[in-house]
Amino acid sequence: MQSIMEITAPLLELSKPKELSHGMKIYRTQSDGPFSFKVSGSIPFTPGVYQGTGDEERQGIVLNITQEVYDSIAHLIENFQQQLDSKHPGIAQKWNSSLKPADKYEPTIRAKICLKGDKVCKFYDMSGQTIDTPTEWRKLEVTAVIRLGGVYVQSKGAGLLLDVTHLQYDPDQNQGVNPFA
């Protein structure tokens, strides 16, 4: 599997859209099966859902990433926007970016992660053995496999469909961490 820096934009051409309810269109990437890439970083916050209970199957996750990873994903986004601009003029203005640039903190990428249900994320230790979901997420150093499901387009927004499918971490790295630190 390739890291995001090894991916070139021409590799990812978008397909004809799948039309869903309420005017939503999903453009998939044209590749041999689901397109996934690896990203290393740290998790600044516990995954969650805005105004959620914490019991949701699919939750939002944020990863701190390097500037190099940020630039590679930003290049893919630009390429997708160029491909879609003829069908959806002004798409760049309504783009809901999964990326947040470096400012006071490191650049980040937002995705979804399934913690329950049929499509639950698989967790691995550093030797490749399956392990349980982390109990302490904050500041966890990880390598994530992120599936790019394509691009969604609605009347008022557009963006990437990103899901963390596999996560590798050292289960001992946050043992005994002071939660008030």
Is 139 inside any structural domain? yes
Is 181 inside any structural domain? no
Cβ count near 161 (within 10 Å): 17
Q: Which residue has the higher pLDDT, 64 or 171?
A: 64
What is the 8-class DSSP label of residue 27? E
**pLDDT (tens digit, 9 = 90+) per residue, 131-157?**
999 988 999 999 999 999 889 999 899
pLDDT of 126 reads 92
Residues 6+ apart with CB under 8 A from 103: none
Is 75 inside any structural domain? yes
**Domain count along the chain:** 1
pLDDT of 11 reads 53
Is 20 inside any structural domain? yes
In 3D space, the residue among 30, 36, 37 whose CA is nearest the CA of residue 83 turns out to be 30
**pLDDT (tens digit, 9 = 90+) per residue, 4-62?**
666 655 556 777 888 888 888 988 887 666 788 899 999 998 888 887 777 788 999 99
CATH code for the domain of 157: 2.40.50.140
Is 62 inside any structural domain? yes
Residues 6+ apart with CB under 8 A from 72: 4, 5, 7
Residue with tokens 């309504």: 94
Rg, C-alpha atoms of the chain: 17
Is 25 inside any structural domain? yes
Partnered with residue 39 across adjacent β-strands are 144
pLDDT of 10 reads 53
